[in-house]
């Protein structure tokens, strides 16, 4: 598989159909995608288990392992490709089952070149949107999403604290200092903050700092130490420790996982 290109796998036991699709897609792709083929479901299943495939185009009826079997085997796979199925008019009930299993579109034989390209382009757009959505979900801390300053029941002192932390995240501050700024006793502020946000003040600050760090890891080329400093950590050692406690991986590993070639969030 070529580096920095997405892979399309065409699976069909009819050589003319398989090679015809490959040739049309390679001409259209002009190097933007790698187009591979498999002549049976067994070989396709092996490839799907070993390498990343972004778009699977498969005949629904094949000996041993059918296209439907392939789609079923992808259930729960975090690297599941988008799927287009191919069938004859007499096999349309298989198409309906394939769509229920998660295929995004279908093509009927004999294949029309313009229809093939239209369906493939649409499927690849869906794949890109899905990848972007998944990455954004991994980027955003769900606990932070639950904290809304506009929600009913959140008082002005906690809102002021949230705003201050947001604006001074790079600085060093303590809960007692924040409580003093909003004229509250530190112990009372601690209880109030957790009651209205669902997390302790220290956990909120850590999560927000790591959230900002994740954004910088994906969108900048700053070093780990520079990012740690920009989100309020005085040593990269402590920054890495907090990051790993919340994300289960180091900052450098996180950056490697989520910034790979064409899948990088822009």
* End residue of a domain, out of 76, 102, 134: 134
Answer whether 0.75 is exceeded by the pTM.
no
Number of structural domains found in the chain: 2
Q: Could you give the CA distance from residue 213 to residue 219 in angstroms, rounded to a whole number?
A: 10
In a domain, 48, yes or no: yes
In a domain, 28, yes or no: yes
The pLDDT of residue 264 is above 60:
no
104 and 146 share one domain: no
Which H/E stretch holds residue 57?
strand 55-59
In a domain, 182, yes or no: yes
The pLDDT of residue 261 is above 50:
no
Residue 110, preceding peptide bond in cis (omega within 30° of 0):
yes
Q: What's the sign of the alpha-carbon dihedral 140, 163, 168, 190? A: negative
In a domain, 1, yes or no: no
123-153: b or e for each residue (b if 16 or more CB lie within 10 Å)? Answer: bbeebeeebeeebeeebebebeeebeeeeee
Confidence of residue 262 (pLDDT cuts 50, 70, 90): very low
Each residue's pLDDT tens digit, 5-36: 899 999 999 999 999 999 999 999 999 999 99
Each residue's pLDDT tens digit, 69-118: 999 999 888 789 999 999 987 788 899 999 999 999 999 999 999 999 99
Each residue's pLDDT tens digit, 152-195: 789 999 999 999 999 999 999 999 999 999 999 999 999 999 99
Instruction: Say if residue 60 is exposed, middle or buried (CB neighbours under 10 Å; 0-12, 13-18, 19+).
Output: buried
Place of tokens 């029941």: 153
In a domain, 192, yes or no: yes
Instruction: Write down the pLDDT at residue 73.
Output: 93
Q: Which residues span the domain enclosing 219?
A: 142-263
CATH of the domain at 32: 3.40.50.2300
152 and 252 share one domain: yes
130 and 249 share one domain: no
Name which of 242, 245, 240 is nearest 223 in CA terms. Answer: 240
* End residue of a domain, out of 105, 134, 163: 134
The pLDDT of residue 47 is above 60:
yes
Each residue's pLDDT tens digit, 189-237: 999 999 999 999 999 999 999 999 999 998 899 999 999 999 999 999 9
Work out the angle at residue 142's Cα, subtended by the Cα atoms of residues 137 and 148, and round it to the nearest 5 degrees: 120
């Amino acid at each position: 598989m070529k580096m920095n290109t997405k892979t399309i796998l065409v699976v069909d036991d009819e050589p003319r159909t398989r090679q015809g699709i490959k040739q049309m897609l390679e001409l259209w792709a002009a190097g933007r995608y790698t187009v591979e083929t498999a002549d049976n479901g067994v070989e396709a299943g092996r490839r799907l288990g070993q390498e990343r495939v972004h778009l699977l185009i498969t005949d629904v009826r094949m000996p041993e392992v059918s296209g439907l079997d392939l789609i079923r085997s992808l259930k729960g796979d975090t690297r599941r490709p988008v799927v287009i199925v191919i069938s004859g008019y007499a096999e349309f009930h298989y198409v309906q089952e394939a769509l229920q299993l998660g295929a995004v579109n279908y093509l009927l034989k004999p294949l029309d070149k313009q229809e093939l390209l239209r369906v493939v382009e649409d499927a690849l757009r869906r794949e890109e949107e899905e990848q972007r959505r998944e990455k954004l979900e991994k980027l955003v801390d769900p606990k932070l999403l639950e904290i809304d300053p506009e929600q009913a029941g959140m008082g002005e002192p906690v809102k002021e604290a949230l705003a201050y932390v947001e604006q001074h995240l790079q600085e060093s501050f303590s809960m007692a200092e924040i409580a003093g700024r909003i004229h509250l006793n530190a112990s009372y502020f601690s209880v109030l903050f957790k009651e209205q946000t669902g997390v302790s003040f220290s956990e909120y600050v850590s999560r927000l700092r790591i959230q900002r760090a994740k954004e910088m890891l994906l969108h900048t080329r700053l070093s780990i130490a520079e990012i740690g400093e920009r989100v309020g950590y005085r040593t990269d050692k402590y920054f890495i420790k907090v990051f790993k406690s919340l994300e289960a991986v180091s900052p450098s590993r996180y950056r490697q996982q989520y910034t790979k070639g064409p899948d990088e969030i822009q």
